[in-house]
Structure 1
Amino acid sequence: MCHKDTGWVRAYRSHGIYGDYLCDSPWALVSSAINVMKQIQPEPDFILWTGDSVPHVPTKELSLTKVFMLIGNVTQELLRVFPDTPIYPSLGNHDALPQDQVPVGPASYYDEILGYSGWHQMLDDSSVKTFKQGGFYSTATKSGLQVIALNTILWYTRDKQIDNKTDPSGQFEWLTTQLKQARDEGRKVLLSGHISPGVFAQAKGISWYYPIFNVRFLNLLQNYSDVITSTIFGHEHTDGFRVVYNKQGKPIIPMFLAPAVTPWKSSLPTVGPNNPSVRLYHYNKTSGEILDYFQYYLNMTAANLARKAHWLLEYQPTANYGISDVSAKSLDQLLKSFETPSSENFRKYYVYNSVSYDNLTKCDGFCKQYHICAMLYVDYEDYKNCLDERMLKSGASPYDDGGHRWPHHRHWHRIHKRHHKVPAYMFIVICVLAVLVFLLFIIIALLCWGRRYPSRPMGYFSQPRYILLSSEQPNFPEYANTKYT
């Protein structure tokens, strides 16, 4: 699927073998990402697949058969490359049809994901049984770490099938029981899912969970911070993190938002493309705590020119940010360093946010505050209060961002000086001319595109995140000791 900033279009662009920044992932890119994981770490302890393998296309261009087939293709490639590695998948909002609309279980949809898409090959019998109830499950790694894969689409504001239910598919009740049992039995838990709680840092006013579910999930994180070691999500395509604090303001749980394989530029007006990426986490097998990670990326422009994928280490938090680990405490210290004027660490973060797609755009003023408040506050009301306070301190109205949305990658909007009043008739003339030009452009474009191009092939995939977890260092020694800024 490809599109322009002005809306949906078919995949008419001439793109390289590894795709285009306006398109979903071609199979060459998906396969390259999975195979480079094998080179980075041939024997990871397990793999987290945080969902979304179906392209961003209008519903009319898909069918459930195609949805299950596309997910199944990725399933089989992962199993082929990593036949002996546990793989723990989660559902993404594009893994349903219509998109975002996963049903409240039990439902045939979950049985078909297990069967047609092959997920039964990756889950044990107990996990399969639970998955059928609503697309979530719990399993244990060889080291004893408990992995809980959530169906976060059941809490997503765009899922209208929950029908005002207070606990769709009973997932909250089930999750609470799992966490209580883990505490009683002395086990540590890693939470994984597609959509994170909190607020999107790049788009003002956008949050993912229904407010009641955001509060409830945050309360669980706070109440079971002695059990939950960390949380890992995808969905946003960009590279980010959050810190969960307790009621006293102490940092308690790190939240990692991994960037996507797909370079696809979101349809959101404030979000630019990103380079494809995969990530390797380094964790302590005994405590279950994530200690560090290695973020790899593909410069897609260079790969298309060379017709060869050369994946590189983009950064390693401990090396590039100068922190001891990626615990909640260390990430809290990192956030404090972001607050300083002209923070070098924040500059790096903003480059990494687009997976080094954009090394030029500055993010300060409103832009910086939106990012920092989103990372500090997962609670919606606390996030709003953070922005209000910071805007008032800067002398601006908390509801004023200069008349524009805040800047995003490649697009920095400036506040223009007020001009003298223009006569009213001039606006009428300008509007009429603009409408005529626009209509003429649309007619010509439709005639040209319709004659020139055939229908779109179904060769595009969406944004699966492939995240390896290992207690071993990566198998790229030439990159492991290199600092990238």
Structure 2
Amino acid sequence: MQLTGRLAVLLWLCLLAVPLPAAGGGSGRFWHLTDLHWDPGYEAAAAAGRPCPSGGDRAGPAGPWGSYLCDSPWSLLRSAARAMRGRLPAPDFVLWTGDDTPHVPNEQLGEEKVLHIIANLTSLINETFPGTKVYAAMGNHDFHPKNQFPGKEHRIYSQTAELWRPWLSDASLPLFRAGRVQFNADFCLGALLARREIILYFSLSCHCQVTGKNAEGGKISLKVAAGAGSAGALQSCPAPGAAHCTHSGLHWERHENDKRHTGKSHCKSTSWSAQGTGLQSQFVLHFCEGAPINVMFLAPGVTPWKTTLPGVSNGANNPAIRVIEYDQDTLRVLDMVTYYLNLTRANTMSSPREEEFPVWEEEYRLTEAFQVPDGSASSMQAVLEKISSDPHYLQLYYELNSARYDLEQCQQECRVDHLCAIREVDFTKYDECVKTNSSASAASRVWLLVFCMLLGFLSPQRVL
């Protein structure tokens, strides 16, 4: 996901009602699917030997399953859906966090094309998981022009509501059509508090499109959630904080930072969050008085698109999908399993015209990869400490960040970027973290150089 100039979107899901079984209901699993970014022009461009539309002027090989310079061809999306059905055919539900259209200029899209893309992806998910509850949200790319979500009725809202009607309740439908929410808002506050369902927060701050009702409604809902002591999850598109790939290229502008403080100021109301549209696999910790109290899990995207974000030199990733395992009674995250497609290998081994699809491998299981008992905030703090002190875990986290696309060594600057992005959601504190750690690293290198020079000066000299 890339945001440029003054355009910035913060999409927080507000209320996600997942019916919970009685106490002792055991564990459940759900799919988190995000950043499909279908490029409908990929195949035609590849056949004609032209760069794909989402690649801009960047020319490169266009494989049958996709290209790191491009958004997803339909063959890749079908492959992902097949892998999901094969790995977990009957999830408790599917969480689909949007960003469906390709990274192309607004002039190459339009309302009809946006709706065409949403309709086709909705059909694909319905065919893959018939009868399964889907909690869907619109990403900032799912409107025309991009990043513009007016707080009033609109054709895109109404037609998307019809597409998602099987997933929407009577309470959600009029809110969606009226532009009050751009997600599945199946909620009734009284029932939510009584049934201890997952409570999510939503606020919308699009460029010149923030409405008082949306903003105030979100604040009220979150205060109620905090009072209920919910253990549920926030959902954000994009996630708050800094880009993990470089401290010179942040995803979001600083004037939006006050909006992001909302999640932190109320973080005692939730213990974890599942978030989308960051494209890469990451996590962020919230601290209160030095103690970790909330962890945000940023899901990797299906699109392999190499970002053009300033300051990022190698920002592609392998396509990935994720299963989250949770305790159905307490909502605690028990584990996460991420599956990925090695796109380079897939493009050399098979063709979408054949019966066989490429294999999506298990990339990692959280508890096994980082040797922690679960996905709680305290466990993820232990992961942070391992990343900070052990080069093995730092390199592992770095490689998992891009679904094993970027396997270069994570050096000191890379280490600082990731550690500060995990620790600090606030931009000011993030900048301070980067500057402090970079200065300390530079100072240590200078002292090492001085020490070596001094050692060489004091050592006995051999005369030839």
TM-score in terms of structure 1 length: 0.72
Residue 168 of structure 2: aligned partner: 123
Is it true that 1:334 corresponds to 2:383 in the alignment?
A: yes
The residue correspondences of 1:283-322 to structure 2 (distance < 5 A) are 283-307=326-350, 308-322=357-371
**How far apart are the structure 2 equivalents of 1:184 and 1:284?**
21
Aligned partners of 1:294 and 1:313 also within 8 Å: yes
1:237 to 279, 285, 292: 279
Are residues 20 and 45 of structure 1, via their aligned partners in 2, closer, same or farther at CA, if it must alter by over 3 Å? Answer: same
Aligned partners of 2:201 and 2:218 also within 8 Å: no
Residue 182 of structure 2: aligned partner: 135
Is it true that 1:373 corresponds to 2:420 in the alignment?
A: yes
Shift of 1:194: 2.0
Are residues 310 and 216 of structure 1, via their aligned partners in 2, closer, same or farther at CA, if it must alter by over 3 Å? Answer: same
Shift of 1:237: 1.3
Shift of 1:224: 4.5
Residue 3 of structure 2: aligned partner: none
1:358 to 391, 397, 406: 406
What SS is found at the alignment partner of 1:95? coil
What SS is found at the alignment partner of 2:171? helix
**How far apart are the structure 1 equivalents of 2:372 and 2:199?**
26
Residue 56 of structure 2: aligned partner: 8
Q: 5+ unaligned residues in a row in structure 2: which ranges?
A: 1-38, 43-50, 351-356, 445-464
Are residues 357 and 378 of structure 1, via their aligned partners in 2, closer, same or farther at CA, if it must alter by over 3 Å? Answer: same
Residue 299 of structure 2: aligned partner: 258
**How far apart are the structure 1 equivalents of 2:170 and 2:93?**
18
Is it true that 1:324 corresponds to 2:373 in the alignment?
A: yes
Aligned partners of 1:240 and 1:353 also within 8 Å: yes
**How far apart are the structure 2 equivalents of 1:194 and 1:31?**
24
Shift of 1:313: 0.3
Residue 452 of structure 2: aligned partner: none
What SS is found at the alignment partner of 1:339? helix
Residue 73 of structure 2: aligned partner: 26
Shift of 1:312: 0.7
Amino acid at match of 2:362: L
Amino acid at match of 1:318: T
The residue correspondences of 1:41-440 to structure 2 (distance < 5 A) are 41-115=88-162, 118-131=163-176, 132=178, 133-139=180-186, 145-148=197-200, 150=202, 154-155=204-205, 159-162=206-209, 165=210, 168=211, 170-184=213-227, 187-211=230-254, 213-225=256-268, 227-246=269-288, 248-268=289-309, 269-270=311-312, 271-307=314-350, 308-340=357-389, 343-359=391-407, 361-395=408-442
**How far apart are the structure 2 equivalents of 1:346 and 1:181?**
39
Amino acid at match of 1:203: T
Aligned partners of 1:189 and 1:228 also within 8 Å: yes
Shift of 1:325: 1.2
**How far apart are the structure 1 equivalents of 2:78 and 2:199?**
26
Residue 462 of structure 1: aligned partner: none
Are residues 83 and 217 of structure 1, via their aligned partners in 2, closer, same or farther at CA, if it must alter by over 3 Å? Answer: same
**How far apart are the structure 2 equivalents of 1:300 and 1:327?**
32
Aligned partners of 2:110 and 2:144 also within 8 Å: yes
Shift of 1:148: 3.0
Shift of 1:345: 0.8
**How far apart are the structure 1 equivalents of 2:237 and 2:262?**
19
Amino acid at match of 2:315: G
**How far apart are the structure 2 equivalents of 1:185 and 1:380?**
29
Q: How many residues align structurally? A: 380
Residue 461 of structure 1: aligned partner: none
**How far apart are the structure 1 equivalents of 2:172 and 2:433?**
40
Shift of 1:306: 2.1
Shift of 1:183: 4.7
Aligned partners of 1:136 and 1:150 also within 8 Å: no
Amino acid at match of 2:385: K
Are residues 222 and 325 of structure 1, via their aligned partners in 2, closer, same or farther at CA, if it must alter by over 3 Å? Answer: farther
Shift of 1:278: 0.5
**How far apart are the structure 2 equivalents of 1:184 and 1:173?**
17
Shift of 1:191: 1.7
Amino acid at match of 1:261: V
Shift of 1:331: 1.0
**How far apart are the structure 2 equivalents of 1:279 and 1:343?**
25
Shift of 1:171: 3.3
What SS is found at the alignment partner of 2:185? strand
**How far apart are the structure 1 equivalents of 2:57 and 2:416?**
34
Q: 5+ unaligned residues in a row in structure 1: which ranges?
A: 398-485
Shift of 1:178: 2.3
**How far apart are the structure 1 equivalents of 2:198 and 2:149?**
25
**How far apart are the structure 2 equivalents of 1:219 and 1:59?**
31
What SS is found at the alignment partner of 2:186? strand
Residue 463 of structure 1: aligned partner: none
**How far apart are the structure 2 equivalents of 1:194 and 1:25?**
19
**How far apart are the structure 2 equivalents of 1:214 and 1:303?**
40
TM-score in terms of structure 2 length: 0.75
